[in-house]
Amino acid sequence: MKSKFLQTLLAAAAFVAISAFAQTSSAATPSGATAAPAAPAAAAAAPGAAPTVTLTGTKVGSINIEAAIFGCNEGRRDMDTLGKKFEPKQAELKNQNDELDALKKQLTTQQDKLNEDALNTLKKQIDGKQKAFDRALQDAQEDFGNQQQDVASKILQKMGPIIGKYAQDNGYGMILDTSKPWPQSPVLISGEGVDITKAVVDAYNVQSGVAAPSTTGTGAKPAGPRPSVGSGTTPKPAPKPAEPPKN
């Protein structure tokens, strides 16, 4: 679910960035005019300026789209709300799993003392409750994932133009997403000097007008309902979100 979610975000972010840069390039070059030669690849940086990376004259930056979405004030607020919304479902799953654990413990401790009919009845009861629990857990995870993606898509629609404007204002010709670590993504290393995530989040917070949530019980991304399927382990409530996720 998460892999599909990230692929959706990356595709959307790439489309926004490419569109913004294409429009900027078109506006900067008059029709019929010859484009100016590319700047040298190793231009001297101004004293005290953050280091930059250039590729054949193109200034390259990076952004962790997922961290930006779930780390901005709006993302933290909305995901905290979503986590609280799913607390009753998590409590329900925990009760189901507690019942299942009790039956499994009964089977372990009493199977040598039960007659064949009683033993088969207990095993069937465990099997039925296990299947019901697995289905309920899968449904809850899918529901949580879908609503999480809705939150991210809503924010990304508004954040995309901010990324494009920041890149344009600061001379970036290429922005790479670092939400997924290498080798899942082509970015091996991205230092602080080229990362624009915080700058984009700060700009988005100003534009959205959403106040920073309380530091207690808020953060980037709650895990959602994730008890172990079929393991007999008691499901745990979603952890309180902390730092922006890194895949």
Per-residue confidence at 218, pLDDT binned at 50, 70, 90?
Answer: very low
Q: Is residue 128 part of a domain?
A: yes
**pLDDT for res 230:** 35
Domain that holds residue 89: 2-26+54-208
Higher pLDDT, 13 or 92: 92
Pairwise pLDDT comparison (62 vs 241), residue with the higher score: 62
In a domain? residue 42: no
Q: In terms of C-beta distances under 8 Å and separation of at least 24 residues, what long-range contacts does 44-47 make, across chains too?
A: none
177 close to 63: Cβ distance less than 8 angstroms: yes
**216 within some domain:** no
Residue 80 has pLDDT above 80, yes or no: yes
Query: Could you tell me if residue 118 is inside a domain?
Result: yes
Q: How far apart are CA 163 and CA 154, in angstroms?
A: 15
More confident residue, 93 or 40: 93
Residue 178 included in any domain:
yes
Q: With beta carbons less than 8 A apart as the criterion, state whether 197 and 67 touch.
A: yes
Tell whether 34 is covered by a domain.
Answer: no
In order of 74, 76, 110, 154, the CA distances from 151 in angstroms are 9, 10, 49, 5
Task: Say if residue 221 is exposed, middle or buried (CB neighbours under 10 Å; 0-12, 13-18, 19+).
Answer: buried
**Domain contains 221:** no
User: Average model confidence (pLDDT) for the chain?
Assistant: 74
The reported pLDDT for the residue numbered 87 is 97
The structural domain count of the chain equals 1
Q: Give domain status of residue 115, yes or no.
A: yes
pLDDT at 185: 72
